[in-house]
Amino acid sequence: MKKIHLYTPIFAGLLLMMSSCNFFSLDTPNDPNNPSLGSVSQNASRTQVQNLVTGLESRHRDYLFTVTMLYGTMGRELWYLNASDPRWQTDWLGMNGRQATANMFGYLNTYQQPYFAIRQALTVIDAVNNTNTFTTEEKNAVSGFAKTLMAYQYLIVAMGQYENGIRIDVKDIQNPGPFLPLAESLTQIKRILDEGNTELGGAGTGNFPLRLTSGFTGNGFGTIASLRQLNRAIAARLAVYRQDWQGGLDAVAASFYSATGSLEAGPAHTFGAPPDTFNPLFFVKNANVSTMMVVHPSVLRDTIAGDARVRAKFFRRTAPVSVTSDGTPLAGLYQDNRFALNTSEVKFFRNEELVLIAAEANAQLNRTTEAVAAINRIRTAAGIGNYAGATTKEALIDEILFQRRYSLWAEPWGHRWVDLRRYNRLNAANVDVSIDRGTIFRQLARPQAEINWDEYVKTR
Amino acid sequence: MLKSTYFSMARLIFAAGMWLLTAIAFAQNQVSGTVKSAEGSPIPGTNIVVKGTTIGTTSGADGTYSITLRQNNATLVFSSIGFQSKEVSVGNNSTINVMLVEDVSNLQEVVVTGLASSIKRSNLANAVGTLSAKELMGTTQIQTVDNAFYGKLPGVNMNTNGGAPGGGVSIQLRGISSLVGASQPLYIIDGVYANNGVNRSGRASVTGAGAETQDDASNRISDLNPNDIETVEVLKGPSAAAIYGTRANAGVIIITTKRGSAGKTKVSFAQDYGFATPQRLFGVDNWTEAKINTFFAAARRPIELERFRAANGQTWDYEKYFYGNTAPLSNTRLGISGGNDKTKFFISGALTDEKGIVRRTGFKRYSLRANIDHKLTNDITLSVGSNYINTNSDRGFTGNQNNSGASIGYNIAYVPNYYNLFPDESGRYPDNPYFSENPIAVTDRGINNTNVNRFIQSFNLTANLYKSEKSLLKLVGQGGLDYTQGTTFVYLPEDLQFQRAQGNPGDVIWGKTENVNTNFQTALVYNWNIGKVNLTSQAGAVRLNFREDRLLNRSRGLAGGQTNLRQGTVQEIFDQRFQTITDVGAFVQQEANWDDKIIATAGVRWDKSTLIGDADKFWAFPKASLAINIANFDFVRSSSLSSVFSQIKPRVAYGQTAGVPAFGTTFTPLNSANIGGLLGSVVTTAAGNAAIEPERAGELEFGLDLGLFNNRIQLEATYYDKQTRSNIQNLQLSPAVGISTIPTNLAQLQNRGVELSLGGTIAQKEKFRWSSRVLWWKNDILLTKLGIPAYNSGAFGVTLGTFLYQEGFSPTTIVGTRPARDANDTPAAEGVRTGAYILGNNQPDFQMSWSNEINFFKNFDFNMLWHWKKGGDNINLTEFLWDGGGTSPDWDEDDNGDGVPNGRQRGLAPHNGADRWVQDATYLRLREAALYYTVPTTSLNKWSNNKISRVRVGFSCQNPLTFSKYRGYDPETSTFGLQAVASGVDIAPYPTQRRFFGHLVVEF
């Protein structure tokens, strides 16, 4: 009988294990690391919507690095020299006959990041509309703000894709709408922007109901009224792209445009130390590295003597950064001087552009006096004296494009590339590819993943 | 579900009742004797079983045994590993002395196939690979267990991350079973589900290389001391591994460690000293003024010419300086084993101290093990194994990087050898004008350390619940835990060139990762006989828990020379992740063995896992197998065939297994994004799928095993067809919808292959014994269904070579850009829908190995193992980098004499495609070779006064010779660590080494 005592604990242990703790039963786990997307689709709390809106601000800045570098490269405002991976040179510059293909190196971010922001904006709009914790005015404010940033992001994609057109209807992730032609795409972006304007108009007065970062509030964009002005500023940019000159002037008038105020005025993408993100455009001056955004030599070559913008924006290094790719050596002696710190903010829309839009629209409408006045506002600020050239429309447009080149250099938009294309001037006379022996790209290709998706839809 | 619990309870109660009835005694008859080898030495541990029953015993330390018989006309079966088994009819004898003949084949070895049962190899229906301690580590000392598998198992394809100390090996058994994640085999050590994860170190962030997969961290099976291993069994596919269910898709590697045996206590001491040198250096091109004028921009030429002239012919061979060193290697081991009838023990301690060929790199391992087996009663045995391990690896800075310059190979690719980067007399490192960092400073002052403390505890309790003459009911309880605590430390000091160029110079990441795996398994095994048919029934349940908890912190802008996180300007929670996984399973298995003639097995495993969308759903994994030992049938035995064929065994097996989705696949999270002091929630770019299913595989395997001339020649031929379905693939959505991917279960893969093994004893004379084995294997992968749009993925995109995921192709297909040969030469013409040309395939055509064991003059042993991999292409981005820097050894040569140097003229004109970097990685390699001398026992006894029982000395080497046209450091290299696909990408790796050792083993 002694042995039985040994078995007793074994059996007891087994029985306990098998029956007591639901040995075979498992529960579906919750994510221990993150909240779920589903948690905000219905009855989101105020804090949840606040977090989504802050998330939108975060997504809104994610395009910054790649768009600045790639679109800036396309218009030869700059070179992004990177010895670690020659494709930043060979593929982006189109060296050795390379084309902007559907699989082009490193360009997908310029397409994807804006759409990440648009997805975030759609999520914000859904969340705020499906909860009772906000008043109608507050809902309008949040939705109008989201649509304003959405329109800005759509326009980034449209500028990259240009005549390929873009998808506007992207709400249903499994059933995105068709690619619309360029003109139709721009019209749809205008619609979204106008909806945002209307909603902001019905959002009451005073401050935006949720917290925004200092990129907005620190630059005077913390109120409903000022956000509406931002909406109109984007509308002004879009209007001149659509050659709607009067519309452009109307939008400028409703924006934060100031003929006499600081040209720097405008909202910014904010950056900071972790857990925030450092300013990706910041490079330590004179750093002895082989990765650097440098000013394109043609920009330096074409300057007007004494231009304050050149002194302010470009920093002459003691030694050039040089990289050789595909047997073609590139060297940059000037680097970006705009950012004092790796936490400096980056303006994404400035009064200076509004002044230039006013100049352009007025010139196009043959309102020469107004156009020249606006040009002179810019020239005075740059310390290069008043405009003394011809006042024909063509001459004024030449002048305005020249001023845009220096006023808006390397802003996170690729203005030079966009502007030259708008005026059909993307050619060797304006885009100097003699040093890099590259190719002038008119637009980027529709990404391979889009081609794949359309193929997939046919067969699913 | 509840029902099955009550059913098990009912069985237990029934069994307990039956046990009480065994008090009834039969007529008894005592038989005893001694078991000896042909040389006359006693064989302890021999199993002696009354044929057709479960009655048995084992021989003691002096080879003696004693058994009580309850029937007349009994036959005793004597079996011991390494000897041919023998049957003796008892008759009226009360003393039976037996001599066992050494077995040159491995047919008598026992293979663990069920979760609680084992089977003789001669009865096995699967091609289960086994490695003995001798095969694994008997030739030379290999740093990590997985590295010791190279070339020893058919059906295995292996890659190394590189040669950095501390391991890092990817193992693919019978091709690729999963298109996502690591897809590494499941390791089970003495019943414990071992952690083979990779601890994130953050190195890839500090160096800018990219994602976690480029950390070049090693997989944690490298912690295990390979010398502790007694056997390794490799269940290569679902047909053999079905009983392991949801975690077995990539195969199962079952490791059994050494245990003590009854008898005199043995003390074994071993010391190895050796050194390692690089297998191959890439070579560095020299410069001339003409080359400088070709390579550099006009503006740059004057300064380069000035530097060149200033060097005055002096050159610095940086490759040799960094990689060309001789690394000292040392291994010390002490093992003590022994015991008595009741208790046996094996205790081992090992110290591995192996430096790397790169300065300030190396690997240290301290391992302590105690394995104890104790018989509580005649019917209850408890076995425990405890293993504490500390490993410490310094892996240095190699591989990919971006901008930081913190990779030796990447960096020196750009430095012409006329420029001096060495520190001056005062110890100041000059800035590197050719790249963003001085690699000498990084090597001298950077730190990339991983320190792991690990404890593995196993237990196994076997209790005979009921025993009768013809049946035995056993309870087997098994389980254990594997606790791993890893600390990673990556550091670049603030005064390095690249750091000085940062807003916050100095960068340190400290990581702590804790893994706790626990598992518990219980089974009832009932062994019974009907006539000549032996039946084994088993049923049981398993529960597994896996917990991982990691936290990495980063600090930048460091105080001078400081590495404490608080000594930084910018302090950051770099990564935190919690992960808890639970699996449960139940299994039943029935084996039937008709007199070793026909052996059939069938079983089912049911599994659930919290990794699967529906966590509470059981998935069933059936299996069945049949082996027929034709040579055991009387019509063969009595025929003339029996003089030739000792074994003729056709066999067939089918089984199903699964692979679980990665943790998080079911979640669609809102990730955190901080901006301007506010916390944002951003929609993930990778949606989850709450309905995700496991990846399931079914494999049909059949083969033929032949033993010729008393098993002196053995042939094993196997064909398998493994079909996986519900393979997880991320459906790439239209990038316009703002969510990039959703996982789907739509893909299907097919792996078909052949494995051949031909082994034999070529000579078996007293003064010359030579056994040899040739293995040949190949695997063909095909993506039979993708279910989502075809796409390219992996490595660095089409312009440098990537991989194709398209129906009708293998996912090992390398595609990329290349110039068109003519107007009709398009990717579409090759059938590729992703806009890229086919450039190669990483999958080898076949692999072959040849192992030899030669014993001559009785006391000399010579072993060697050759390995040939035919075909399989790599993407050689090391050459891409060196060409870019003008430093590849043939850069300035001009093979076609057109005035353009080779370095600018590889591949098709205009020499801008990815075709330049895809290169055949065929090789023939001498994997291992060794010569040992065992001091003859007689002279030893005389000399040591019988105190020393064995002394063995020898020399060995690993990878001493490689024949390959591949131009990188090693054709086996693979930057992307353990990824299932995207193997064979070579980007400035830590060069792999050849290793040479002297050995001394003394046993007391």
Angle between helices A64-74 and A415-422 (to 10 degrees): 50
CATH 2.60.40.1120 boundaries in chain B: 2-103
Q: List all residues of chain A from 95 to 134 with a beta carbon under 8 Å from chain B.
A: 95-98, 101-103, 105, 108, 111-112, 115-120, 122-123
* Average pLDDT over every residue of B475-485: 95
CB contacts of A58 in chain B (<8 Å) are: 673-675, 680, 682
Partner B contacted by A19 (CB < 8 A): yes
Partner A contacted by B791 (CB < 8 A): yes
- Top pLDDT among B903 and A359 is at A359
* CA–CA–CA angle B956, B957, B961 (5° rounding): 140
Question: What is the 3-class SS of B737-797, one letter each residue?
Answer: HCCCEEEEEEEEEEEEEEEEEEEEEEEECCCEEEEEEEEEEEEEEEEEECCCCCEEECCCC
**In the structure, what pLDDT confidence band is assigned to residue B12 with cuts at 50, 70 and 90?**
very low
Q: How far is B635 from chain A, CA to nearest CA, in Å?
A: 48
Q: How far is B681 from chain A, CA to nearest CA, in Å?
A: 5
pLDDT of residue B19: 42
Query: Mind listing the pLDDT tens digit for each residue in A120-150?
Result: 999 999 999 999 999 999 999 999 999 999 9
Which residue of chain B is at minimal alpha-carbon distance from A325? B884
Query: Mind listing the pLDDT tens digit for each residue in B617-649?
Result: 999 999 999 999 999 999 988 888 888 998 999
Across the interface, which of B299, B503, B910 has its CB nearest the CB of A341?
B503
Q: Look-up: residue for tokens 């109608």?
A: A136
Partner B contacted by A276 (CB < 8 A): yes
Across the interface, which of A28, A108, A123 has its CB nearest the CB of B735?
A108
Partner A contacted by B829 (CB < 8 A): no
pLDDT of residue A447: 95
Q: Look-up: residue for tokens 């019905």?
A: A202
By CB atoms closer than 10 A (0-12, 13-18, 19+), residue B561 is: exposed
pLDDT of residue B214: 84
**In the structure, what pLDDT confidence band is assigned to residue A5 with cuts at 50, 70 and 90?**
low
pLDDT of residue B99: 85
CA dihedral B225, B227, B228, B231 (to 10 degrees): 120
Number of Cβ within a 10 Å radius of residue B909: 9
**What percent of chain B is predicted at pLDDT more than 90?**
70
Mutate to test the interface with A, among B438, B734, B880, B987 (most CBs of A within 10 A): B734
Mutate to test the interface with B, among A15, A57, A103 (most CBs of B within 10 A): A103
- Cβ-defined contact of A276 to B676 (cutoff 8 Å): yes
d(CA B142, CA B135): 12
pLDDT of residue A14: 60
CATH architecture for segment(s) B2-103: Sandwich (2.60)
Across the interface, which of A17, A54, A287 has its CB nearest the CB of B501?
A287
Q: How far is B430 from chain A, CA to nearest CA, in Å?
A: 11
**What percent of chain A is predicted at pLDDT more than 70?**
95
- Cβ-defined contact of A24 to B500 (cutoff 8 Å): no
pLDDT at B6 over 50: no
ipTM: 0.93
pLDDT of residue B84: 77
Partner B contacted by A5 (CB < 8 A): no
- Top pLDDT among B125 and A66 is at A66
**In the structure, what pLDDT confidence band is assigned to residue B9 with cuts at 50, 70 and 90?**
very low
d(CA B31, CA B53): 16
- Cβ-defined contact of A290 to B435 (cutoff 8 Å): yes
- Cβ-defined contact of A289 to B436 (cutoff 8 Å): yes
Partner A contacted by B10 (CB < 8 A): no
The per-residue pLDDT of chain B, averaged, comes to 90
Lowest mean pLDDT among A223-232, B92-101, B378-387: B92-101
Q: Does the A42-204+271-296+326-344+414-444 domain belong in CATH 1.25.40?
A: yes
* Average pLDDT over every residue of B659-671: 95
Q: Which of B816, B784, B780, B814 is nearest to B798 (CA)?
A: B816
* Average pLDDT over every residue of B105-109: 67
**What percent of chain A is predicted at pLDDT more than 90?**
88
- Cβ-defined contact of B436 to A38 (cutoff 8 Å): no
CB contacts of B573 in chain A (<8 Å) are: 274-275
Query: Mind listing the pLDDT tens digit for each residue in B558-582?
Result: 999 999 999 999 999 999 999 999 9
**In the structure, what pLDDT confidence band is assigned to residue B257 with cuts at 50, 70 and 90?**
very high
- Cβ-defined contact of B669 to A102 (cutoff 8 Å): no
pLDDT at A223 over 50: yes
pLDDT of residue B15: 46
pLDDT of residue B115: 78
pLDDT of residue A100: 95
* Average pLDDT over every residue of B973-981: 76
Across the interface, which of A34, A288, A447 has its CB nearest the CB of B497?
A288
Query: Mind listing the pLDDT tens digit for each residue in B873-889?
Result: 999 999 999 998 999 99
* Average pLDDT over every residue of A74-96: 94
* Average pLDDT over every residue of B953-958: 96
CB contacts of A157 in chain B (<8 Å) are: 736
- Cβ-defined contact of A86 to B884 (cutoff 8 Å): yes
Query: What are the angstrom distances between the C-alpha of B287 and each of B291, B305, B430, B434?
Result: 6, 10, 21, 15
**What percent of chain B is predicted at pLDDT more than 70?**
96
pLDDT of residue B643: 87
Lowest mean pLDDT among A402-416, B43-57, B117-131: B43-57
Q: List all residues of chain B from 330 to 349 with a beta carbon under 8 Å from chain A.
A: none
CB contacts of B609 in chain A (<8 Å) are: 26
Partner B contacted by A176 (CB < 8 A): yes
pLDDT of residue B640: 87
pLDDT of residue B86: 83
Q: Where are the beta strands (DSSP E) in B395-432?
A: none
Domain ranges of chain A: 42-204+271-296+326-344+414-444
User: Which of the given ranges, A246-250, A320-324, B724-728, B856-860, has the highest pLDDT on average?
Assistant: A246-250
Query: Mind listing the pLDDT tens digit for each residue in A305-328?
Result: 999 999 999 999 999 998 888 888
Q: Are B874 and B842 in contact (CB under 8 A)?
A: yes
Lowest mean pLDDT among A356-365, A435-444, B435-444, B465-474: B465-474
- Cβ-defined contact of A58 to B675 (cutoff 8 Å): yes
Q: How far is B818 from chain A, CA to nearest CA, in Å?
A: 11
d(CA B585, CA B243): 10
- Cβ-defined contact of B738 to A120 (cutoff 8 Å): yes
**In the structure, what pLDDT confidence band is assigned to residue B26 with cuts at 50, 70 and 90?**
very low
pLDDT of residue B391: 97
**In the structure, what pLDDT confidence band is assigned to residue B24 with cuts at 50, 70 and 90?**
very low
User: Which of the given ranges, B181-185, B380-384, B983-987, has the highest pLDDT on average?
Assistant: B380-384
Q: Are B248 and B178 in contact (CB under 8 A)?
A: no
- What is the DSSP-derived secondary structure letter of residue B665? T
Q: Look-up: residue for tokens 């082989």?
A: A290
* Average pLDDT over every residue of A247-267: 97
pLDDT at B23 over 80: no
CATH architecture for segment(s) B146-281+325-396+446-872+921-1003: Beta Barrel (2.40)
Q: Which of A154, A163, A182, A153 is nearest to A100 (CA)?
A: A163
pLDDT of residue A65: 97
CA dihedral A166, A171, A174, A177 (to 10 degrees): -40
